[in-house]
A and B are shown apart, each in its own frame.
Chain A
């Protein structure tokens, strides 16, 4: 198809990158708010989420419009359908940033249960995985996407370690810590979900680039 179609694909690509920038910013700000125990900064993450939601609708509409008007095929079709999926994954990641921000606000009145050690580690993994997944998309590089998938077990084991510590060292030994421990458990769960969404993006990128379905088929990796 012609120049106009190519330009519209370019526009879709840059919209997805804008969406990603908004989402990565939300995650970073939620994490900073958590580190600084700053409810104001957390509230800003929540307020900012409408921008992400609006962007999601714009991208969805653009994708549907391209399919309806051009009936794209092959790599163009895979790019557009992947764009739609990425859009959804990114929006879910932004929602999780909001979830984290809400926990920060909830916990603001009370002292922190313990100094955070593994949670910052998990945040680093989550941010790295999202960034790499998007880098794979930008570079149309399935090798980078596959690296993202290999990082996921690390996220899972960090989450398990956090759960174990909170349950065994705090909730069982001193049940009065339970309300505060539950908040940290939730945050660990949220961060691990960010990692999961990064793996979904990576799987979609592998499909886009190689036309190869690895989702639900780990043996194909």
Chain B
């Protein structure tokens, strides 16, 4: 029997608007500790919008408006008195396209610590090494830490971005289509990495690739037209979904 895990993040009655356009409608969703939660759905269903709410990235868009509540360990992350910088430290994000800074490999990973005011060089060096190791990149870069990050391959750049995210020791990591621009071998490495990281972190991944969701996740949520149509254990979602719209989407009968 699988034990029910602790819930780290909760979305309750989440409604989201850009201006007058409603993007999300009444989302209730639980994110379990040390689990990978996959969010799937067709383009425009609101899945990327949803995970951006989980670390308040949506606030970078002026007309964005959120109703409902999102909590981390039972505490609201959405109320006005919560510092979004603090939330983004706890809830890190890795994007679709690897976006390393035009700096050295070392500086990319150290960056988050430095902007958080860490000055101790030994501490920073240790953290850079451990983050690169956790991101399964260390062996490939240990002899070229001061080369430009842009000299790395796409797959390596993505793992570098994961290392950069790990360096500030987040608790939850959000992956927004992390393999969309990677070849199958790099994709495989990132998927292996996600499965390793879930031992220490809570992970949410948005993906268009259903096989990827099936391979890496423990729970899957299917979004359609801004609604959470179905949420359940991944093994159930991909063998016996309850909702016809889920069935139609994952078997490619949509539209």
Contact = CB atoms under 8 A, between A and B. Distances in A.
In this complex, the member of B214, B247, B251, B252 whose beta carbon has the largest number of chain A beta carbons within 10 angstroms is: B251
A151 interface: no
B162 to A, nearest CB: 25
A213 to B, nearest CB: 10
Contacts of A1: 251-253
Q: What secondary structure prevails in chain B residues at the interface with A?
A: helix
Contacts, number: 30
B211 A72 contact: no
A5 B210 CA distance: 16
Nearest to B254: A1
B41 to A, nearest CB: 14
Contact of B238 (A2, A5, A73): A73
- The range of chain A's interface size is 10 to 19
A75 B247 contact: yes
A188 to B, nearest CB: 39
Nearest to B213: A73
A74 B239 contact: yes
A163 B251 CA distance: 50
Interface in A48-74: 71-74
Contacts of B238: 73-74, 77
B240 interface: yes
Contacts of A77: 238-239
Contacts of A76: 251
Given A73-B214, A211-B240, A2 B250 contact: no
Interface in B225-255: 238-241, 246-247, 250-253
A2 B253 CA distance: 7
B184 to A, nearest CB: 13
Nearest to A70: B252
A78 B214 CA distance: 15
Interface in A1-47: 1-2, 5
Contacts of A73: 210, 214, 238-239, 250-251
A194 B240 CA distance: 30
A2 B247 CA distance: 14
Which 10 A-B residue pairs are closest in the complex by CB-CB distance? A211-B240, A1-B252, A73-B250, A73-B238, A76-B251, A71-B211, A74-B247, A74-B251, A74-B250, A74-B241
11 contacts: A1-B252, A71-B211, A73-B210, A73-B214, A74-B238, A74-B241, A74-B250, A75-B247, A77-B238, A78-B240, A211-B239
